Structure 1
Amino acid sequence: MKQNLVLVFLLLLLSISCAKQEKKINGISFVASRDSIRDIHVAPVVKTNASHVALMPFGFVRELNNPEIVFNSKRQWFGETKKGVEFEASQFKKSSIESMVKPQLWISRGVFTGAIQLKSDAEWELFEKSYEQFILTYAAAAESAKASMFCIGTELEKFVLARPLFWSQLIAKVRKIYSGKLTYAANWDEYKRVPFWKDLDFIGIDAYFPLTDKQTPTVLDFEKGWATHKNEIARLQRQIGKPVLFTEYGYRSVDYTGDKPWESDRIAGKVNIEAQQNALQAIHNQFWNESWFAGGFLWKWFHEHERAGGEKNNRFTPQNKATEKLLEQLYLQKKG
């Protein structure tokens, strides 16, 4: 009898463990709003069965020759300010949606953040001082708002590789003021070279991997394209021992959407909702059932839902497209 009770207890623990593994972060990347949001703006996100939103306050760098970051300014949209982030997190919290605060940089003239390269230690130190203030301001906002996750940076490869000591110190400082989970959003071609994954809680990847050059790939085409990338991600995950989080993932509703999924500056392209849907289905098929995969944040969602997206829109958002209904179904399957 005693042995039977022990067996039942072990099976119960195993079932609880499996249930925990199945609970995924079903995230939405929520674009900062010009003014404060209300219940009417939260309701469409709730309808997708999302469990989390990424709140993304931007800091702006006018010139890399004078690399100070402008942030939390009265001239910025409300959702990009410290007060705005705290307010938006509280609005989503009322609907049981958790937040990841994910500060990001915007460099004038479209310079890619991953290519930041400064000429001297003095310039690096000026930039680091400004970046630290930027990150700690929003880490404090995340703590105040009881956000469940905080992202210390997004697609900053050359900065990360050039200044490893700065990043180690920054992580320690963030830990002192923020009590939630930490990640970093590495670009899809950067994540294997990030040196500080073991100091964080998630391996964060902006998952815009090239998958297929077909005009309208099938779900199977996309899944075949994932094979090598998935193996490499899983290999790193085993090495580091931390769950993988897609800090961004998504596809435009356009022809050839699996070829260069990161392209966002090119407006042209024939609308292709089917390709977007197939890509979304494939990434969920490949990752959402893996125990080592934490979930992801779909790129992207605008607060004025009735005016966003639509069947003639070839951009990333799933809003008011057949893709939105598919997202609801996929997130419902892994709703915690």
Structure 2
Amino acid sequence: MRSRLPLLAIFPVAVLTLVVGTPFVLGDHPVRWQAGSALPRLVLDDPAESTTPDDGTRPGTTAASPSASAEDLQVAKVWKAGMPQWGVQIYWEDDRKTLSGDFVEKQARKQAEYLIGLGANSVSVSFPFYTKSGTSDEVWAGAKTPTPQRLERVLKVFKDAGFRTRLRPIMDESSLKPEDGWRGDVEPASRSAWFASYRKLVTPYLKAADETRTNTFVIGTELNSLEGDPGWNTLVDSAEKTFSGEIAYDANWDNYVTGRINMPVNHLGVDAYFPVKVPDTAPVKDLVDGWDKWLDRKATGTLPKILVSESGIGAMNGAYHAPGDFYSHRKVNTKVQANWYTAVCQVVQERHMQGVYWWSIHFEDDPNTPPDDRTASRLDFAGRPLSEKAIKACFASDYAGPGTGTTS
């Protein structure tokens, strides 16, 4: 068993009050805060050094090279241990009734080709699971949850192309009522029953990840209210027996900067949607300063053990104030999105972080087609030339990775 994070020290708390009725987005779920209310009083520090190889491979092995079957899908620069993770989150809601396994594999190749064109060396596949309500003891794979077998086919395509791979279950919020809050607020009536149900759900996916030599399995995503529960110890112990790569947890940004992330893992990602109160015309420098102010609430200086596991912003006016707003459809402004990507990439390098995964591409979409702004999420970046240019510049930088002291 790998060593675990120590109990994390408590730092002074910064409290943020918001104006009545202002949408405030936590993760991908907007919450309306009343005047005078504050973020939860939570604090955290950096994960401890890990005894697991940084590349997430099994101890004593090296990162896998692309197989001969990869053919034209070989990336220009195959990811190896110590490199930054320059990646994209692929979100997959499956349609098993109409999409064949062969189609799924071809679609994975299309996505891989697009990511290669961006210069990415990493990919994270997020997939939904479901629950009945915020107090339910049960979780399950629904009609849109890819099966482990279909995920294996997709992960193999990405692995053969030379990408570093992550697999990440994330609770779908469609069944939650407004009074339930969002996935970070769930309070199962019986936590022991919830963890037993969750373990039953994720175990086949851990096996699929192990079979495809996936580098990282994210054992939980944005589950603020369940962080620190003893149930995670048993779950992670079981996961480590099934999966030989690295086990990670992806925290939501609010808990990261103001809270204690007490999870029995050695690898921490942050789904980062820090609001920055600047106008749409703000230069990149102001966006960098805004991110640094948020990160400094946690720790100043470098953050070599922290991964930006998810970041993005809407290509629209006013997006800097609520980067994770998935629902608004204000006037399109692609420069807002492109400048945000440039700023976040600069922060990752200056703070010597592990890398960044941009949110997101829907697996079934054609990434080469511009989004239909009448219906698509403003957070979509594929097909937006200015945003793609910023991502390519980020991924082409000479940043050598965390701990190297080299930035572009």
Q: Does the 8 Å contact 2:176/2:182 carry over to 1?
A: no
Letter aligned with residue 113 of structure 1: R
SS of aligned partner of 2:138: strand
Identity %: 21
Q: Which secondary structure state, in structure 2, belongs to the residue aligned with residue 305 of structure 1?
A: coil
Task: Tell me: CA distance 1:227–1:76, structure 2 relative to 1, closer, same or farther (3 Å).
Answer: closer
Alignment of 1:108-147 (within 5 A): 108-109=175-176, 111-118=181-188, 120=189, 123-147=190-214
How many residues align? The count is 301
Corresponding residue number in structure 2 for 1:151: 218
Name the SS of the counterpart of 1:60 in structure 2.
Answer: strand
Residue 65 of structure 1 and its aligned partner are, at CA, apart by 4.8
Matched, 1:88 2:158: no
- Kept after mapping to 1: 8 A contact 2:327/2:377: no
Aligned to 1:190: 255
Normalised TM-score (structure 2): 0.68
Write out aligned runs for 1:53-92 (5 A).
Answer: 53-71=123-141, 75-76=143-144, 80-92=146-158
The answer for unaligned runs of 5 or more in structure 1 is: 1-19
SS class of match (2:200) = helix
Distance apart, 1:226 and its partner CA = 1.5
Paired residue for 1:8? none
Structure-1 residue corresponding to 2:5: none
Contact 1:212 1:221 in 2 (8 A): no
Q: CA deviation at 1:47?
A: 0.8
Q: 1:37 to 1:254 in 2, by over 3 A?
A: farther
Counterpart of 1:275 (choices 317, 320, 336) is: 336
Task: Give how far 1:213 is off.
Answer: 3.8
Retained in 2: the 8 A contact 1:61–1:69? yes
Please tell me whether residue 47 in structure 1 is matched to residue 117 in structure 2: yes
Counterpart of 1:249?
A: 311
Indicate the residue corresponding to 1:286 in structure 2.
347
* DSSP 3-state at the match of 1:255: coil
**1:170 alignment partner, SS class:** helix
Closer/same/farther in 2, CA of residues 37 and 309 from structure 1, 3 Å limit: farther
Asked if 1:24 corresponds to 2:84, the answer is: yes
Give 1:37's aligned amino acid: E
- Structure 1 CA distance, aligned partners of 2:302 and 2:265? 13
Please give the alpha-carbon distance, in whole angstroms, between the structure 2 residues aligned to 1:157 and 1:51.
Answer: 29
Runs of at least 5 residues in structure 2 that lack an aligned partner in the other structure: 1-79, 401-408
* CA-based RMSD: 2.5
Select the structure that is richer in helix.
Answer: 1
Query: Which of residues 105, 112, 123 in structure 2 aligns to 1:37?
Result: 105
Q: 1:180 aligns with which of 245, 255, 259?
A: 245
Q: Deviations over 1:27-64 (max 9, x none)?
A: 10012154413123321111111111111121111234
Summarize the Cα distance change of 1:22–1:63 in structure 2 as closer, same or farther, 3 Å threshold.
Answer: closer
